[in-house]
Amino acid sequence: MNAHNPLGEKVSHSRTYDPSQLFAVDRQSAREASGISDPPPFWGRDIWNAYEISWLNHRGKPVVAIGEFVFPCDTPCIVESKSLKLYLNAFNQTRFGVVDEVAACIRKDLSACVKGNVKVSLVLPDAFETELAVHTPQGACIDHLDVDIDTYHTDAGLLATEDGIVKEVLYSNLLRTNCPVTEQPDWGTVIVDYRGEKISRQSLLAYLVSYRDHTGFHENCTEQIFSDIKACCRPDHLTVTARFTRRGGIDINPVRTDRKPAKGSCADGSPSLDPMNLRLARQ
């Protein structure tokens, strides 16, 4: 495993399989900086889609696939995205017998990198249309609200509730955050599925827009959104999903919830795709 973070650095590219390209990032340090307890008050997973996977079959003919990698959020580490891209690129001139061999290799290396069990599924072109359809989030979009906004640094104090107990799903396509290393913008859709005291839609929109100048990795931003809504609005149940647009051929989609999952549901080795992995138009 790589000892140096390649993000923002000029690095050499391996032409054949090289698991040393992978770089692990500690989860807990970012959680501590955000005031999130250990263990954290949520469960969930990070769903990564890799659109630029290719290797050679046993006769030297290229094969292409799209990969889904599911990381439980309780792994000690996450994998740095540029290092994953470099790692996957190194498959390009490497020969494998069958697709299951490739999936097993990726699963082994990613699990070792993050120190947990990672679920890996590879989708071949014949299944692209059925497995990778574009969806629209369920629920009500709050982006049409006519509101004045002047806060672009995260402010949980913007969140507010209204009278009434509801069960609803709200979403916004207006999330922008920034990479803490390169300072490049990251774009995403946030889906808030909750039951409890009604969240003011205007306040939720203003709060999500307040991330516009915020720097943080996708996972950290999603956990902060979950924690702020949970603390300020006190819903009985809450699930926050953030679906970010792709960068470097990879999109990252964290899911955080206060509902404890069934044992083995995040990374059980099943070849089927994650039911929460519903690709959006910008992905």
Residue 117, by phi and psi: left (phi above 0), alpha (psi -120 to 50) or beta?
beta
Pairing of strands 43-56, 24-26: unpaired
Instruction: Answer positive or negative: Cα dihedral of 139, 143, 144, 148.
Output: positive
Q: What per-residue confidence (pLDDT) applies to 190?
A: 99
pLDDT of residue 268: 42
CA atoms within 13 A on the CB side of 220: 25
Active site residue 232: no
User: Contact 136/283 with Cβ under 8 angstroms?
Assistant: no
Q: What is the mean pLDDT of residues 202-213?
A: 98
46 is an active site residue:
no
CB 275 within 8 A of CB 66: no
Q: What angle separates helix 218-233 from helix 201-209, to the nearest 10 degrees? A: 150
* 7 pLDDT higher than 70: no
Running DSSP on this structure, what letter comes out for residue 32?
Answer: H
Per-residue pLDDT for 4 more than 80?
no
The pLDDT-based confidence of 9 (bands split at 50, 70, 90) is low
Tell me which of 77, 105, 141, 179 is the catalytic residue: 179
Pick the catalytic residue from 46, 109, 186, 251.
Answer: 186
Q: What is the rounded CA–CA span in Å between residue 84 and residue 90?
A: 10
pLDDT tens-digit series, residues 128-177 = 999 999 999 999 999 999 999 999 999 999 999 999 999 999 999 999 99
Give me the percent of the chain exceeding a pLDDT of 70. Answer: 92
The residue assigned the tokens 């609005």 is 233
Average pLDDT, the chain: 93
Grouping H, G, I as helix, E, B as strand and the rest as coil, residue 46 is: strand
Gap between the Cα atoms of 165 and 154, Å rounded: 26
Which domains can be identified in the chain, with CATH numbers? 19-131 (3.30.1130.10), 140-257 (3.30.1130.10)
193 has a pLDDT exceeding 50? yes
